[in-house]
Amino acid sequence: MRDYFFPPLVLPFFILLVLPFTIFFFVFVTSSVFQLVFGVGKTQALLIFLSIILGSFVNIPIYETTGERIVREYFLGFIYTVRKREKILIAVNLGGCILPSILAIKALFD
Average pLDDT, 10 consecutive residues per value, the chain (110 residues): 66 80 84 86 87 93 92 87 90 94 89
pLDDT of residue 65: 93
Which domain range does residue 35 map to? 1-55
Q: H-type helices in the chain, by residue range?
A: 10-13, 19-38, 42-55, 99-109
Predicted local distance difference test score (pLDDT) of residue 2: 59
Give the rounded distance of the alpha carbon of 95 from its chain centre.
8
Residue 65 is assigned to a structural domain of this protein: no
In a domain, 91, yes or no: no
Whether residue 7 lies inside any domain: the answer is: yes
Give the pTM. Answer: 0.65
Number of domains in the chain: 1
Q: What DSSP state is assigned to residue 57?
A: T
Q: Which amino acid is at 20?
A: P
CA distances in angstroms from 62 to 55, 68, 87, 108, listed in the order given? 16, 20, 13, 26
